[in-house]
Amino acid sequence: MAEEVSCLKARLMEKEKEIVALKNKLALEKNSLIDLQEKVTTLPPLKLKAALSNEDIMRYSRQLILPEFGVQGQLNLSQTSVLVVGCGGLGCPLAQYLAAAGIGRVGLLDYDEVELSNLHRQVLHGEDSQGQAKAQSAAHAVRRLNSTVECIPYHLQLSPENALQLIQQYDIVADCSDNVPTRYLVNDACVLSGKPLVSASALRMEGQLTVYNYRGGPCYRCLYPKPPPPEMVTNCSDGGILGVVPGIMGCFQALEVLKIASGQGSSCGQQLLMFDAQDAKFRSIRLRSKQASCAVCGENPTVTHLVDYEKFCGSAATDKCRRLSLLSKDQRVTVQEYKSIVDNTAAHLLLDVRPLVEVDICHLPTSLNIPLSSLEDRKSEHIRVLKERIGRVKEQMSNESQVPVYVICKLGNDSQKAVQVLEKMSGSEVDFVTVKDICGGLMAWAQKIDPSFPQY
Amino acid sequence: MAAPIAIHLEFGGGAELLFGSVKEHHVTLPNQSEPWDMKQLLVWIRGNMLKERPELFVQGDTVRPGILVLINDADWELMGELEYELQDKDNVVFISTLHGG
Ligand SMILES: [Zn+2]
């Protein structure tokens, strides 16, 4: 009996210990749920730090003994706040190194949520943070790394209405955004509030970095007074990007921010750093000085308050793909309509106009691949194949009507352009054809018709 | 009479896609009565290297917005832009600005 009692008591103690452990874990998790800001609020000033604690000294010892940095550099860092605009491929490594080095306060801004296709380059987010606000997910990772860094996640879109109020509260701004309107907005807000802007960008296998509005140097508008035509702007989901490329550029941004924050200063104020990952080459370019004619930082500025940047650039402040609408309704079919054409085994030609590298990822079994660029350039070997395939479909058809050609791509933009090209060719460069595009492309096919078809 | 000059052209940031995805080009500009300047180089590139859609590269007599021009590793604004007189062995880079992140 006594033995049983002591045995139960022992088990009870064990369970109690378990409860304490679980409670601690819960408290820790609650603690780590950082207040996500949905709008811009006024922050209290950073707490002044007169001296480093013993823990600080141990933690930062390896950078403290650098003569370029030293105790004063560390104290300067702890007094500096940095706004990171965009928690993606650039913002993740940037925020990570700023937090690790002991920056005083970091604002993490992103309107987006974590998706599986982000994880190859946005290295602060994990599989378990899919669907979470990127700002929240990044804040968690930063908090885990260094709990002494004050971290403020903003789940919002930077806009002409909120940008000044937000940027005025930070010492340094880092542009890690992914679209043209936001880059002009951030630049103008930095000029109007007198903040240095550490700006980087990356695409495919290349990266660029400049510090704008710094020590009398040029601003983004001094270099690019006019925005590029929207059709010439490629985003990461269209052009592709190797994750480590923004990783390297984000680390470079962190370096320049840390140099400014610690007091050493940046040498990228009138300089463009270009990185070519394919050839493993860095190149430093001497840039123009601040332009007297600049619309925002010049002698007679015309931009004296924030304007409508989406209108100015003719594109949306997002890197999500644009939806073109070039064709009339009768020139388009839905994926459901195309499915019934396939089911009825109606004679037709399916033309996939994506680049070969994307066709290698996935394609429909009967499609003929001719990239849009080859059609536009009238590549002779492709036109020959096209003629041949149209001829074969014609043979299968019992009546004399025109051969139906259905054009598909990833999302239904290039396919519309291809329809326009093919209509010009119809009856002259190739036999008469009736061309239609498949709305929404292969991604609509995957979502609505065949869930086993890969999405990318 | 100006002698023909050999220059090195580079395209980057996506601008190379307009030139058959080839980043580096060694070209020789033929001799002509006056010296070659950047304005004439753009006309020459348009006529000799850009087969399709030249408007994606040049607009009017200069490059389209969003392309930065570098002459011998310096912003062309520091070198006189369109009026810069090209020298033998000059290095001219046309770089499309990146916006992704
Ligand atoms: Zn300016």
A431 phi and psi angles, rounded to 5 deg = -60, 165
When pLDDT is averaged across residues A229-233 and rounded to a whole number, the result is 83
The predicted structure's pLDDT at residue B54: 86
Q: pLDDT by residue (tens digit) across A237-256? A: 788 999 999 999 999 999 99
Tell me, yes or no, if A176 comes closer than 8 A to chain B by beta carbon.
yes
Cα(A199) to centroid of ligand 1, in Å?
Answer: 14
Give the residue from A282, A313, A344 where a domain finishes. Answer: A313
Q: Both A249 and A347 in a single domain?
A: no
Check A190, A236, A313, A439 and give the catalytic one: A236
- Decide if A377 and B52 are in contact by the 8 Å CB cutoff: yes
The predicted structure's pLDDT at residue A325: 86
The predicted structure's pLDDT at residue B2: 65
Which of A356, A359, A339 has its CA nearest to residue A348? A339
pTM for the whole structure = 0.86
A121 in a labelled binding site: yes
Average pLDDT, chain A: 94
When pLDDT is averaged across residues A322-351 and rounded to a whole number, the result is 92
CA dist A226 and A291 (Å) reads: 14
Q: Both A99 and A192 in a single domain?
A: yes
When pLDDT is averaged across residues A352-361 and rounded to a whole number, the result is 95
Indicate whether A49 belongs to any domain: yes
* Nearest-by-CA chain A residue for B97: A208
Which of A298, A288, A197, A187 has its CA nearest to residue B69? A288
Indicate whether B101 belongs to any domain: no
Q: pLDDT by residue (tens digit) across A101-112? A: 999 999 999 999
Q: Both A268 and A367 in a single domain?
A: no
Q: Would you say the C-alpha torsion A290, A291, A294, A298 has a positive or negative sign?
A: positive
The predicted structure's pLDDT at residue A32: 53
The predicted structure's pLDDT at residue A30: 52
A110 in a labelled binding site: yes
The region that residue A393 occupies, defined by phi over 0 for left and psi between -120 and 50 for alpha, beta otherwise, is alpha
CA dist A136 and A152 (Å) reads: 9
Q: Both A206 and A352 in a single domain?
A: no
Domain ranges, residue A417: 329-449
CATH number at residue A212: 3.40.50.720
The predicted structure's pLDDT at residue A230: 84
Give the residue from A313, A345, A377 where a domain finishes. Answer: A313
Out of B12, B97, B100, closest to residue A228 by CB: B97
CATH number at residue B15: 3.10.20.30
A373 in a labelled binding site: no
CA dist B7 and B26 (Å) reads: 6
Structural contact between residues A233 and A315, judged by C-beta atoms closer than 8 angstroms: yes
Q: Both A291 and A335 in a single domain?
A: no
| DSSP conformation class of A317 | S
Residue A438 belongs to what H/E stretch? strand A433-438
A interface mutation test: which of B19, B52, B97 has the most A CBs within 10 A? B97
Q: Both A295 and A334 in a single domain?
A: no
B51 phi and psi angles, rounded to 5 deg = -85, -40
Q: Both A282 and A403 in a single domain?
A: no
Q: Would you say the C-alpha torsion A47, A48, A53, A59 has a positive or negative sign?
A: positive
Provide the number of CB pairs (under 8 Å) joining chain A to chain B: 101
Q: B32 to chain A nearest CA, in Å?
A: 31
The predicted structure's pLDDT at residue B78: 96
Contacts of A227 in chain B (CB under 8 A): 65-66
- Decide if B98 and A201 are in contact by the 8 Å CB cutoff: yes
Q: Both A304 and A354 in a single domain?
A: no
CA dist B77 and B86 (Å) reads: 14
Q: pLDDT by residue (tens digit) across A80-134? A: 999 999 999 999 999 999 999 999 999 999 999 999 999 999 999 999 999 999 9
Q: Both A37 and A82 in a single domain?
A: yes
Out of B65, B70, B75, closest to residue A228 by CB: B65
Check A87, A151, A176, A409 and give the catalytic one: A409
Indicate whether B87 belongs to any domain: yes
A236 catalytic? Reply is yes
Range of lowest pLDDT (A25-29, A286-290, A306-310, B81-85)? A25-29
- Decide if A180 and B95 are in contact by the 8 Å CB cutoff: no
Buried b (16+ CB within 10 A) or exposed e, B32-58: eeeebebebbbeebeeebbeeebebbb
Indicate whether A25 belongs to any domain: no
Q: Both A256 and A333 in a single domain?
A: no
Indicate whether A66 belongs to any domain: yes
Q: Both A163 and A213 in a single domain?
A: yes
Q: Would you say the C-alpha torsion A179, A184, A187, A188 has a positive or negative sign?
A: negative
Q: A180 to chain B nearest CA, in Å?
A: 6
The predicted structure's pLDDT at residue B38: 97
pLDDT bracket for residue A341 (50, 70, 90) = very high
The predicted structure's pLDDT at residue A410: 96
Would you give the distance in Å from CA A111 to the centre of its chain?
11
When pLDDT is averaged across residues A151-173 and rounded to a whole number, the result is 97
When pLDDT is averaged across residues A383-404 and rounded to a whole number, the result is 91
Which of B59, B69, B27, B20 has its CA nearest to residue A232? B59
The predicted structure's pLDDT at residue B1: 54
When pLDDT is averaged across residues A288-292 and rounded to a whole number, the result is 97
Indicate whether A4 belongs to any domain: no
CA dist A178 and A185 (Å) reads: 12
Average pLDDT, chain B: 93
* B70 DSSP β-pair partners: B75, B93
The predicted structure's pLDDT at residue A27: 62
Task: Write out chain B's pLDDT in tens, 101 residues.
Answer: 567 899 999 999 999 989 988 999 999 999 998 999 999 999 999 999 987 778 889 999 999 999 999 999 999 999 999 999 999 999 999 999 999 98
| DSSP conformation class of A38 | S
Contacts of B56 in chain A (CB under 8 A): 232
Indicate whether A90 belongs to any domain: yes
Q: Which residue has the higher pLDDT, A13 or A246?
A: A246
- Decide if A235 and B100 are in contact by the 8 Å CB cutoff: yes
- Whether A389 has a pLDDT exceeding 60, the answer reads yes
Q: pLDDT by residue (tens digit) across A28-49? A: 555 456 789 999 999 999 988 8
Q: Both A129 and A259 in a single domain?
A: yes
Indicate whether A11 belongs to any domain: no
The predicted structure's pLDDT at residue A158: 97
Domain count, chain A: 2
Give the residue from A267, A288, A313 where a domain finishes. Answer: A313
Long-range contacts at A340-343 (CB < 8 A, ≥ 24 apart): A341/A404, A341/A406
ipTM of model: 0.93
Tell me, yes or no, if B54 comes closer than 8 A to chain A by beta carbon.
no
Q: A396 to chain B nearest CA, in Å?
A: 36
Domain count, chain B: 1
